[in-house]
Amino acid sequence: MSKLKRILLVGSVPLADAEAVFRMLSSRLGTLAKRYPDVWEGARGGQEHGQDHGSTFPSDEPVARIDYLFADPTVRPLRAWTAGGTDSDHLMVIADLQVGG
């Protein structure tokens, strides 16, 4: 039996305009979004839920989304949310992911 490698790309873009940077990178490097879909969008079904758009910066009143999770298509995002409780200047992104069947 062959071993499947599952890939998660996790990181933050420490810029106030991270969403614009992400859109630019996706348009120029479209394979990123195709090969490793955005977990936040996948868990949310592409829908916005209330005021929660995944914004993570600044942590006291988030207005920008600077933290991202991307996963290969073998990983199914079930839900995603943000949380504080640290000394960081931005919130954490947490996700429940289903691996395999």
Burial grade of 32 (CB within 10 A; 0-12, 13-18, 19 or more): middle
Q: Is residue 23 predicted with pLDDT exceeding 80? A: no
| 46-101 confidence digits (pLDDT tens) | 555 444 678 888 899 888 888 888 898 889 999 999 998 788 898 999 999 998 76
Reported as half-sphere exposure (CB side, CA atoms, 13 A), residue 99 has a value of 8
Closest C-alpha to 69, from 26, 13, 8: 8
Q: Evaluate whether residue 30 is within a structural domain.
A: yes
Q: Evaluate whether residue 3 is within a structural domain.
A: no
- Count of structural domains, the chain: 1
Q: Evaluate whether residue 20 is within a structural domain.
A: yes
Contact status, residue 38 vs residue 70, Cβ threshold 8 Å: yes
pLDDT at 1: 46
pLDDT at 98: 92
Q: Evaluate whether residue 76 is within a structural domain.
A: yes
Of residues 34 and 38, more confidently modeled = 38
Q: Evaluate whether residue 1 is within a structural domain.
A: no
| 73-87 confidence digits (pLDDT tens) | 889 999 999 998 788
73: containing domain: 8-99
